[in-house]
Amino acid sequence: MKKQFISTIAALFVFSINLQAQTIKGKVVDNDGNPLEFVNVILRSLPDSAFVAGTVTTEDGTFEVNGQGDIVQFSIIGYEKQTLPVSHFKDEAIVKMADLSNTLNEVVVKSTLPKTSLKGNALVTDIVGSVLEHEGNALDVLSKVPGMISMGGNLEVIGRGAPLYYINGRKITDNSELRNLMSEDIKSIDVISNPGAEYGGEVRCVVRIRTIKRQGDGFSFALTSQAKQLIYDCHDTEPSWSVLDLNYRRKGWDFFGKVVYWNQRHYQISDIDGGTICKVGDQIIDNRQTGTLDFRNHHGGWQFMGGANWQISEKQSLGFRTEWTNNSIGYKPMVMDEDVFINNQLIDHIYATNDARMTKSHNLSSNLYYDGTFNKLHINFNADHVRSDAGGVTDINETSNSGKTTMQSNSDATTAMTAAKLVFSYPVWKGELQMGTEETFVKASETYAITLASIPRSDASIKESTIAGFAQYAANLPFGQLNAGLRYERTDFDYTDNLYADNNVHRNNNSWFPSFSFSTKVKQVGLSLSYTGKTVRPRYETMSKEISYDNKFTLQTGDPLMKNEIQRTLSLIGQWKWITFTGNYERVDNKVYQKGYPYNDEGVVMIQYTNAVDPLHKLSAYLTAAPSIGFWYPRLTVGIQKQFFETDVIDPRVDGGIRHISLGKPMYLLQTYNTFRLKHSWNIDLDYQYRSSLNHMIYLIDNPVHGMDISVGKSFFKNEALTFRLTWSDVFKTQHERVISDFGACYVDQDNRYNTSAITLRVSYRFNSAQNKYKGTGAGESAKNRM
């Protein structure tokens, strides 16, 4: 079937060849001479300005259009249109386009205004030459570009969640690359809220980062280190992390490597009030526990990466990279100190320690790629292999009025993935046709055992294969840019229980994922409307039937029979000068969430992953303003996000034992970032965030969360090679949240406090700062994320 599928894809890829009278070539740049990508280039004939042919500029700003015409028009949102006669292109001419942002208020300093424009369905922000150029590292910059927000310390695309990140077309696998990529090396950032058919069926949003292409051969390196001083509750210095990037370039070859070391500590203290509900005969029993939980997390390790890239010619390159990650430190102790009530009568006091430690945790990943252009045909191939091994031991000691209980759990898991992706691109008619195929094969196995007779041990394995094909076409029309795509995926899934054959599962899915986007410009307003169909396959651990022990009344497990989530999203983006609007509507069928079920007649409840019967609906709307006023560069984002979710939960307290709940409390968001660019390369940042209470699935975040961060940065030496940045995060220690969970037969009210208030010093030094030219984009990204 695989050969037949690939043959079908190849047969569908038909090349369109037209005989043309002339070839027009050139390069489009901005006022500063930087190449412009995605510029619409249209050849027209006179006197009626009839359309003859069209194309878009490539990453280096070049274009080539064939046809018999009289004038060539150039247009892109954010720049003034250009119309030139064909006679201008006797040689490969340079076309310079004027930036519309020059017409803003006179207080704008052109060299430091971060310009954002709408190109297709992407919000593109130019970093080079703007105030964001000196912001710090890529993580600092990303938090301040339109289309992105910070939620609980994590970066998200507005209304879409955590994105996949690409640097120069290569999918990154860990945030250390973003930490070590300095803002001075970033050219531009694309935020794509609704990616098309080229990306996997599970990819909800994408961020593409382009770096400045440094010239010349030789050796270069970049070293970044961060130290953190926790304040208020803990006064220990935390070494945090250090990253060293190395690169040597000579005669078209790049040899590169990276070493990462991290050693981090986190804590969380929670006041908890929760319990389980069961019915024994006609009597309702409420097992309630109140007290405190103290979580500590100490993790650290090393990562080594190496590879080579060969720039065969200007249009062809080949490379490989291998990465080894070893989590050598992994310790998660927890202390629970609680009173136990049954039907509001105090019956016991429990003091428990839960010491979890890793026995092994390492990951090996490799990528091989080829990228080339033959005449007008562009080919990109990637092959990936990933293997991860993890194991752990947890010692549990519970002391209560009835005595002491000691138990130990052991777990071991291995996952391996092999994937390949082949993409063809070719100019057809008024745009570009892209077609390709992607195959992913995963094997996973795990064992789990606990010295508690009531919980069975588990030993299971998973095999999953996905074969996909996609086609996508982008056309530049006189009235806008149209992009349409379709992706097909067939997934075969086998779950084998090595202990109980009755639990074995086999299933397959055939899914189609359409995508569509249309962008245009109405006067000075850029508009983009897009639709995508996506899926989310359950993470492997949520499909495991392994039973984990939380406390004497609560257990957790997964379900291998869960269905894939099906997501349909409609997005609207509007952009005018320095104001951006983003709106999303999303419907999710088979949403994965947790639900409580009675486990026995002693009040024990099993919390299990399952699929929702009713669909989840989500609406979001955000408005971002990023003007520039002298040396002050504010960015204000306000927004609202609301879910519409209803479900039935098991509750023995109500007639029939089933309770219907409706969860739709909206979230209101306010974020303001203020950068002050001073003389002598000084930067000061004053940032504030506010988020209201909200419903997230079955959870209620019951209190507003807000906080303020202050940063001071300074650069030294030529090209600002040495950078210091001092940050005081969570100045007023306001980062805590109360989470109320309604699992039906189990309820939890937890008030969490974190060690987010800290002083952080980050030092970065870049020598020669040459980015390697590796262009591998990776394959099997959905499976990697689930691993």
Whether the predicted pLDDT of 782 surpasses 80: no
Determine contact, residues 664/642, Cβ cutoff 8 Å.
Answer: yes
pLDDT digits (tens, 9 = 90+) for 636-651: 999 999 999 999 999 9
Predicted local confidence at residue 528, as pLDDT = 95
In the 8-state DSSP scheme, what is residue 21?
Answer: S
CA–CA dist 782, 616 (Å, integer):
22
Q: Is 749 exposed, middle or buried, given 0-12, 13-18 or 19+ CB atoms closer than 10 A?
A: middle
Predicted local confidence at residue 632, as pLDDT = 92
Q: How confident is the model at residue 16 (pLDDT cuts 50, 70, 90)?
A: very low
The mean pLDDT of 78-92, rounded to a whole number, is 82
CA distance between the termini of the chain: 26
Q: How confident is the model at residue 211 (pLDDT cuts 50, 70, 90)?
A: confident
* More reliable by pLDDT, 718 or 525: 525
Pick from 188-192, 217-221, 512-516: least confident: 217-221
CA-based torsion, 696, 194, 572, 186: positive or negative: positive
Whether the predicted pLDDT of 56 surpasses 80: no
CA–CA dist 348, 275 (Å, integer):
14
Whether the predicted pLDDT of 310 surpasses 90: yes
Pick from 5-19, 179-193, 533-547, 696-710: least confident: 5-19
CA–CA dist 488, 381 (Å, integer):
19
Predicted local confidence at residue 786, as pLDDT = 54
pLDDT digits (tens, 9 = 90+) for 459-490: 999 999 999 999 999 998 888 899 999 999 99
CA–CA dist 500, 668 (Å, integer):
48
Nearest to 349 by CA among 292, 395, 307: 292
Structure tokens of 470? 């996609």
Predicted local confidence at residue 108, as pLDDT = 33
The mean pLDDT of 100-126, rounded to a whole number, is 62
* More reliable by pLDDT, 236 or 452: 452
Distance of CA 757 to the CA centre of its chain: 25
Q: How confident is the model at residue 351 (pLDDT cuts 50, 70, 90)?
A: very high
Predicted local confidence at residue 783, as pLDDT = 56
**Widest CA span in the chain:** 96
CA–CA dist 275, 341 (Å, integer):
9
Predicted local confidence at residue 13, as pLDDT = 40
Determine contact, residues 342/318, Cβ cutoff 8 Å.
Answer: no
Structure tokens of 570? 């409609």
CA–CA dist 446, 204 (Å, integer):
29
pLDDT digits (tens, 9 = 90+) for 212-245: 876 668 899 989 898 888 886 554 555 578 989 8
Strands 23-29 and 93-96: parallel
The mean pLDDT of 672-697, rounded to a whole number, is 93
CA–CA dist 191, 609 (Å, integer):
32
Nearest to 437 by CA among 17, 38, 1: 1
* More reliable by pLDDT, 104 or 572: 572
Q: How confident is the model at residue 593 (pLDDT cuts 50, 70, 90)?
A: very high
Reported pTM: 0.82
Q: How far is CA 36 from CA 83, 96, 189, 206, 749, in A?
A: 16, 9, 13, 20, 53
Determine contact, residues 62/25, Cβ cutoff 8 Å.
Answer: yes
3-state secondary structure of 656: helix
Nearest to 131 by CA among 682, 613, 570: 682
The mean pLDDT of 313-321, rounded to a whole number, is 91
Whole-number percent of the chain with pLDDT over 70: 91
**Looking at the DSSP assignment, which residues form a beta bridge with residue 576?**
525, 579
Q: Helix (H) and strand (E) counts for the chain?
A: 4, 46
The mean pLDDT of 60-67, rounded to a whole number, is 83
Predicted local confidence at residue 133, as pLDDT = 83
Pick from 252-266, 411-425, 573-587: least confident: 252-266
CA–CA dist 756, 267 (Å, integer):
9
Predicted local confidence at residue 73, as pLDDT = 87
* More reliable by pLDDT, 418 or 775: 418
DSSP 266-329: EEEEEEEEEEEEEEETTEEEEEEEEEEEEEEEEEEEEEEEEEEEEEEETTEEEEEEEEEEEEEE
Residue whose tokens read 């301040």: 144
DSSP 386-415: EEEEEEEEEEEEEEETTEEEEEEEEEEEEE
Predicted local confidence at residue 514, as pLDDT = 95
Determine contact, residues 628/113, Cβ cutoff 8 Å.
Answer: yes
- The average confidence (pLDDT) of the chain is 87
Q: How confident is the model at residue 5 (pLDDT cuts 50, 70, 90)?
A: very low
Determine contact, residues 681/135, Cβ cutoff 8 Å.
Answer: no
Whether the predicted pLDDT of 684 surpasses 90: yes
The mean pLDDT of 201-212, rounded to a whole number, is 90
Amino acid, res. 551: N
The mean pLDDT of 363-391, rounded to a whole number, is 94
Pick from 6-15, 173-182, 321-330, 657-666: least confident: 6-15
H helix intervals, 69-152: 138-142
Whether the predicted pLDDT of 11 surpasses 50: no
Determine contact, residues 691/706, Cβ cutoff 8 Å.
Answer: yes
Q: How confident is the model at residue 368 (pLDDT cuts 50, 70, 90)?
A: very high
CA–CA dist 579, 581 (Å, integer):
7
Determine contact, residues 296/333, Cβ cutoff 8 Å.
Answer: yes
